[in-house]
Amino acid sequence: MQTILVVNAGSSSVKFQVFGIEAGRNLKQLIRGGMDGIGVRPRFRATGSDDSLLVDLQYEAAQVPDVPSAVKLAGAWLRETQKFELVAIGHRVVHGGPTYDRPVVVDRNVLANLERYISLAPLHQPNNLAPIRALLERSPELPQIACFDTAFHRGHSDVADHYAIPKHLHAEGIRRYGFHGLSYEYILERFREVAPQLADGRVIVAHLGSGASMCAIGKGRSVESTMGFTALDGLPMGTRSGQIDPGVLLYLLAEKGLTPEAVQKFLYSDCGLKGLSGISNDVRDLLDSKEPSAAFALDHFVYRVALYSGMLAAALTGIDAFVFTAGIGERSAALRARIAERIAWLGAELDPAANAAGALSISRPGSRVGLFVIPTNEELMIAKHVLALLGADRAAERIKTA
* Residue positions annotated with a catalytic role: 149
DSSP-based three-state secondary structure for 20: strand
Q: Residues for the chain: how many in total?
A: 402
H helix or E strand, kind and range, residue 115: helix 108-115
Question: In sequence order, what are the beta bridge partners of 44?
Answer: 35, 57
Spatial separation of the C-alpha atoms in residues 238 and 272, rounded to whole Å:
5
62's CB contacts (< 8 A; 6+ apart) are: none
Helix axis angle for 125-138 and 108-115, nearest 10°, is: 160
Are 143 and 390 in contact by the 8 Å Cβ rule? The answer is yes
Spatial separation of the C-alpha atoms in residues 310 and 22, rounded to whole Å:
44
C-alpha count within 13 angstroms, C-beta hemisphere, residue 183: 27
β-sheet with 221-225: strand ranges across:
221-225, 212-218, 202-208, 321-325, 370-373
Spatial separation of the C-alpha atoms in residues 267 and 121, rounded to whole Å:
12
Torsion of CA 50, 144, 86, 66, to 10 degrees: -60
